[in-house]
Amino acid sequence: MSWQSAFACWLLKRQMRPETAKPTLDVERARTYASRRIWLPRVPKGWRLDIEPDGEWLHRESAARDRRTVFYLHGGGYYFCSPRSHRAITFGLATRADADVFSLDYRLAPEHRFPAALDDAVAAYRRLLASGIDAKSIVIAGDSAGGGLALATLLALRDARVQLPASAVLFSPWTDLTCGGASMQANEGRDPMFHASVFPRVAALYLGDADSRDPYASPLFGDYRGLPPLLIQASDTELLLDDATRVAKIARETNVDVQLQIWRNVPHIFQIWAPFMPEARDALTQAARFISTTTSAGNAQRPPITSMV
């Protein structure tokens, strides 16, 4: 455990975790907090950031044709955060994987409940294909709620018989909106970011009257047959650990190529602490390697189904 990870966990325990113990969600407070992040990464040299009505693109200025593309879905419990708040991840993936990144600004709850975010993600992916981008060069990725949304988007695209992307990268995905994972109890008090009691409240905010077991909302309950390769990264201390491990188990049982990396003593979506935290840098580098491998003709040696980092 690096001192940077220890510092991040200490800070989250002081600033973030007490907020999640409150009996009600303060949507505007969360959105204000996310929009006022003091530190934001600069646009990397040689890259261009284009802000569009439905998201933002990070392009290499001297982009070659037929480049790989990462389609990114940010986390934030479906009710706060944005492409801007997650640039540490998207910029890190772009530069490491040498990929254009489109980060979607999907509609948020409670103004827009399920399935608004899913509808936006499916429509945005279809637009990528319609613009001439080859599905085999696209990787869908996301963190936390965005990781669950990325997996749900794969299910919806497959069911609609749309050509699927080459692979998916899921950082600490929230895949079970019933909040039924054993780690919700086992890691209560160990997770530096959340109390378990916050998750049912966030799920209700997004779901409204929808069924929490609907696979398009909780992709843990979906059929994974025919999905592309998955890379899943999670922390051993986070409440959502089982949302990652159970997906990996189901994927393996349905012959989906899956890599599960469990990192020790790091916070939920620790990748967002790049470049400050060495574990975050390493995780993004490994994700970029997976992106490069799955969008090329190469057949590089892959690590075991589960690895502890």
Alpha helices per DSSP H over 160-220: 183-186, 198-207
Both tokens assigned to 216? 């398009």
Report how far residue 274's alpha carbon sits from residue 117's, in angstroms, rounded to the nearest whole number. 26
Q: Could you tell me which residues come within 8 angstroms of residue 111 by beta carbon, excluding any fewer than 6 positions away?
A: none
144 is catalytic: yes
Percent of the chain residues past pLDDT 90, beyond the cut: 89
> For the whole prediction, is pTM greater than 0.75?
yes
Condensed to tens digits (0 to 9), the pLDDT of residues 112-133 reads 999 999 999 999 999 999 999 9
268 is known as an active-site residue: yes
**What is d(CA 38, CA 64) in angstroms, rounded to the nearest whole number?**
34
Active-site position among 74, 82, 238, 279: 238
Q: Which residues of the chain have pLDDT under 70?
A: 37-38, 63-66, 297-306
Q: Which is the catalytic residue, given 85, 103, 137, 144? A: 144
| Confidence at residue 64, expressed as pLDDT on a 0 to 100 scale | 61
What's the pLDDT score for residue 309? 72
* Domain 3-308 bears CATH identifier 3.40.50.1820: yes
pLDDT at 61: 86
In the chain, where are the structural domains located? Answer: 3-308
